[in-house]
Amino acid sequence: MDNIHYISSEILSLETLQEIISQDKKLALSDESIESIEKCRLYLDTKMASQKTPIYGINTGFGSLCNVIISNDNLSKLQENLVKSHACGTGEEVPHDIVKIMLLLKIQSLSYGNSGVQLITIQRLVDFYNNDVLPIIYNQGSLGASGDLAPLAHLSLPLIGEGEVYFDGFRQPANKVLEKFGWEPIALQSKEGLALLNGTQFMSSYGCYILLKAMKYSYFADVIAAISLEGFDGRIEPFNELIHYVRPHKGQITTAKRMTELLEGSQIIAQPKQHVQDPYSFRCIPQVHGASKDTIDYVKKVFKTEINSVTDNPNIFVGEDLIISGGNFHGQPLALALDFLAIALSELGSISERRTYQLISGLRGLPAFLVDNPGLNSGFMIPQYTAASIASQNKQLATPASVDSIVSSNGQEDHVSMGANAATKCLRIMDNLERILAIELMNASQAIEFRRPLNSSDFIEMFLKSYREEVPFVKEDRILHYDIEKSITFLNSFLVNLEE
């Protein structure tokens, strides 16, 4: 029972989401959710038995076809046609980890009893999640406004025995997997296709995945910056709490405190310095890293609200006897937040690359390019090129997607969020940041060896000892691509307690 997460109206936090993923918990619908789902479906069936007037998406066409009335005899076919016709995704396949989050978040959103889906439909999504039956979804096709229509159509296709899934180690037709489990395709009822396709679960899943990684790499940015500071023989004064309490941004204070703790007991930081000040990329670590932390905190709040929301249309309110068509599927809150997050992550990479540049510049007693016998050895000359290239790409990717909009559906959907594009490029920035920080770690760990026999703090020495088991000191030129890859693997495998 401990390894089951029950879908309910209880707030789903990012921390809970991380726990579900990391502990590989199974999902189950709570009694509360089952009651809400069945109550709403019964209400809708009763309503449609006598309904003569049009209700958008239930007995009408979709988008600009909203004024076309559909007979009750064709309501099930209408929903099936919707799912098939909207499965127009293209591009790269969505990573499996994100697809799994999409399943979870779609189950959560449909469980509140405002969407009118059948219990069997949601239960089948739970079955997909619990058995790692992952629909093949593509990362291009959503405008992030009428919900993530194309990606969610691909998510929904296997419910009706269509499309493809990744299961048991390879990609295969969904109907074959349904047969293996003895599952009959779902006969979608009125509104169900629309409930499945309307929603922000593509954007939300990307955002949650990126945030969980961003929190970890925000921490790594501090740790690696501290190692760089030691390698550069930097000063401790910029992290004095007095400076930060007179400009009390939360992230700035948190970063300064962490840097102080990371460097506590270091012989290197305690030795007399020849220089009065450090360059901004070292001296302003609390201000720059802190601003990114504050951005991550803001974006977390946006996504916490979103993943505990109903985002399909129309919404059904059983107690009020109302079915209301609105716009909860519009991704504007997420688009703006994802663009903000992209900029914040890009900046962590930008300042990291600058520290790498300082470390290889032959300053403060360090050899040029951090290698003995420079000239014969190029040392760490070219990893900085790589970091600079990636940091520059991040700046290009950080151009906001949310400022764009393209009219669709014959003008009915005349403003869109482009939140899906914001989501996919934010993931690219996150992955790029991981590479930039890995390169800084390579340089910082190399530089600190030239400060021996002095030691850094106990924590940093422990961290470096673990790292050196994967990536040894560079005595003479070797293929550094492998060191970069090993550094990335090391960071990904290093366990971090993210609780502040």
Q: Can you tell me the distance from the alpha carbon of 108 to that of 437, in angstroms, rounded to the nearest whole number?
A: 35
Helices (H), 86-200: 96-110, 119-130, 149-156, 174-181, 192-197
Q: Both tokens of residue 217?
A: 């790499």
As given in the structure block, the two tokens for residue 161 are 């025995």
SS3 label, residue 464: helix
**Whether the Cβ atoms of residue 362 and residue 375 lie closer than 8 Å to each other:** no
Beta bridge partners of residue 27, listed in sequence order: 5
CB 228 within 8 A of CB 259: no
Note whether 341 and 296 are within 8 A (CB): yes
* Strand 138-140 versus strand 90-93 pairing type: antiparallel
Give the HSE-up count for residue 255: Cα atoms under 13 Å, Cβ half-sphere: 31
Cα–Cα distance measured from residue 157 to residue 4, given in angstroms and rounded to the nearest whole number: 26
Tell me the catalytic residues. 56
Strand, coil or helix: 159: helix
Q: State the Cα–Cα distance between residues 324 and 312, nearest whole angstrom.
A: 11
Angle ∠(213,216,221) on CA atoms, nearest 5: 115
List C-alpha distances in Å: 104 to 21, 191, 363: 10, 20, 51
Q: Which residue has the tokens 């050895």?
A: 377
